[in-house]
Amino acid sequence: MSTDKQQLLRFLPTSREEMEARGWDALDIILVSGDAYVDHPAFGVSIIGRVLEHAGYRVGVIAQPDWKTPESLRIMGPPRLGWGVTGGNIDSIVNVYTVGRRFRKDDAYSEDGQAGKRPPNAEVIYSQLCHQAYKGLPVVQGGIGASMRRVAHFDYFLDRMRPSILADSKADILCFGMGERTMPEIFRRIAAHEPLRGIRGTAVLLKEKESCDFDTASALELPSYEDHLTNRFALMESTKLVESQMNALNAQRLFQRHGKRILVVEPPAEPLTTEELDSMHTLPFAMRPHFRYRKRIPAFETVQYSIMAVRGCPGGCAFCGLVTHQGRQVMSRSKESILAEARSFAEDPNFKGTISDIGGAAGNIYASCSDREFCEKCRRVSCLFPTQCPHYHCDGLALTDLLRKVSAIPRVKHVYINSGIRLELALKQKEFLRELIRHHVSGHLKVAPEHLDDRVLKLMRKSPASEFYEFMRLFEEESRAAGKEQYLIPLLISNFPGCDAKAMKVVDDFLNEHHWSLQQVQDYIPLPMTMGCAMYYCGIAPDGTPIPVNRGLAARRDQIEVLKKRRTGPDKGAYFKRKKHRP
């Protein structure tokens, strides 16, 4: 086989030429993505593409099509079964707009970081484009943007309530969550001409006649879309109910009225087991961007020599959409799977010896375990807040052993943890913390106190500030003992609901006292379907207590300036460096 043909076969087809190299005259499924096509397990469309390929389907990818014409989706002909549509790894609206509702100047998921390659609300635009390209073919919508908009939600960028994204996109079904279980089942049913109802991890917007026949006793009812338009506090009620049904082990079906139609949201799909997660990582990913790209893709450079070790997040932070998409149950890959990936890096002639990260939602939740029998009854939104669940265990010992074994692989010179560290866990993981600070910090370590006022931290569902101060003390002590000059990179957020001038002064005083400068400011963006968004829109805490909320740039500017005035460099990451005291 020629080298050229080998290259054509290395990726899922993106052109007729690549289809012909495989001897295919048609595809079963075409996936449309707002990201550049990087065939790597850190990119959602590539995971789903490879999982569907493994299930026996002929799958193609159209990455960042011209959204102004349906011709851009006709390049490989009509798919036999249907389309899969995603806005990309990051919510497409957040990807396009800044918190100030201005266009971003770059896009890490596009070639050369070029902005403008995807539309805002890409899931809706692409779905409509699929219907225009070939009428009558099913459209399946997925990705984090769809997950966070599966029910009626507040759109910060439009500053108004919106219905389920299905109402605008006209997609046939929405897949929420990671999709490895759900997507093969959806297309199996499409191929078998079976109804797309009752699939875990999906939402469908029923037609009027189907809505009349729907058994409302079989599900919990959310406030209707019309309720949200007339009653501001309906969003808080809706968010609480959605959060109570995010545990895949005990969630119930939900429904929500949209006029004469009913939106049905099935329980989340169960997370993959360790064996299934390991198996997914053995699929034939090319582990690089598609060969048509001639320039760098910044998001790939970040993950090229990093290892995704876990799925899910136990935190349930009020500002974060990760639990909405990945779920609260933490699933870890086996040590053998991770070591195999690390060895593959060492065999890569371009590998320089540094593994930039072994992590996921956080850098110290690997090998978390919970009592499944208890979890089957649990409706907590967080395993860690307001206190750590006694049935959730994460001592850090397995991760410590893993880091040492990866470090021992020939050609591996450095193994770093660049995923944020959960402070409340790290303070209990003494051996891991010592190992981390002495051997696995690249000079800077990310931590996420998010704020330093305890009232705001409670609203965020974060641990009290005292834990950050204690972590900072231990970090500095251990760094000195190791003879290393190392810095923390704490992420702090301005303008979170409930944060007033007095609360922000706590942050300001800390930065003044410790002489810290920063390179990037982080102003709060209300993400759909999060508790923080409900608090922002309703102006109340989850218990109904009124809280101050800054809306509009004029009201938000003072808190932004508290962080921005210490900004010393270009936006290259949430980076704080403690200045040395002057004599």
CATH number at residue 368: 3.30.750.210
pLDDT at residue 577 is higher than 70:
no
Q: Supply the pLDDT for residue 518.
A: 65
Q: Which residue has the higher pLDDT, 4 or 409?
A: 409
Whether residues 343 and 485 share a domain: the answer is no
Query: Last residue of a domain, which of 265, 294, 321?
Result: 265
pLDDT of residue 564: 77
* Structural domain range at position 355: 305-420
**Structural domain ending residue among the three candidates 405, 420, 435:** 420
Check residue 83 and give its pLDDT.
Answer: 98
**How would residue 511 be classed by pLDDT, with cut points 50, 70 and 90?**
confident
* Longest pairwise C-alpha distance within the chain: 78
Rounded Cα distance between 386 and 545, Å, is 18
Number of domains in the chain: 3
Tokens of 214: 């729907």
CA distance 504 to 494: 7
Residue 279 is assigned to a structural domain of this protein: no
Give the pLDDT confidence score for residue 563 in this predicted structure.
82
384 and 478 fall within a common domain: no
Say if residue 220 is in the same domain as residue 136. yes
**pLDDT value of residue 6:** 83
Same domain, 173 and 97: yes
**pLDDT average, residue stretch 457-466:** 96
Res 309: pLDDT: 96
Contact call for residues 528 and 155 (beta carbons, < 8 A): yes
The CATH number assigned to the domain holding 150 equals 3.40.50.280
* Domain end (from 237, 265, 293): 265
| pLDDT confidence band for 398 (50 / 70 / 90) | very high
Shared domain for 315 and 243, answered yes or no, is no
If asked whether residues 139 and 192 sit together in one domain, one would say yes
Structure tokens at 551: 């809306």
Residue 346, pLDDT > 60, answer yes
Pairwise CA distance, residues 100 & 409, whole Å = 46
Asked if 319 and 203 sit in the same domain, the reply is no
Quick one: average pLDDT of 371-400?
A: 92
Contact assessment for residue 390 and residue 325, using Cβ atoms and an 8 Å cutoff: no
Q: Are residues 203 and 316 in the same domain?
A: no
Contact 32, 126 (CB under 8 A): yes
User: Is the same domain home to 190 and 325?
Assistant: no
The pTM for the full model equals: 0.93
Does the residue 79 lie in any domain? yes
Residue 568: pLDDT over 80: no
Residue 570 lies in a domain: yes
Average pLDDT score, the chain = 93
Q: Is a pLDDT exceeding 70 seen at residue 163?
A: yes
Interatomic CA distance for residues 266 and 254, integer angstroms: 6
- Encode pLDDT of 242-273 as tens digits: 999 999 999 999 999 999 999 999 999 999 99
pLDDT(21) > 70: yes
Same domain as 577, residue 507:
yes
* Section 200-204 average pLDDT: 98
Is residue 40 over pLDDT 70? yes
Assess whether 73 and 35 both reside in one domain: yes
Percent of the chain clearing pLDDT 90 (strictly above): 84
Mean pLDDT, range 533-542, rounded to an integer = 98
CB 256 within 8 Å of CB 224: yes
Are residues 199 and 69 located together in one domain of the fold?
Answer: yes
Q: Which CATH number goes with the domain that contains 481? A: 3.30.750.200
Is residue 131 over pLDDT 90? yes
Amino acid in the structure at residue 353: G
How far, rounded to the nearest angstrom, does the alpha carbon of residue 574 sit from its chain's CA centroid? Answer: 17
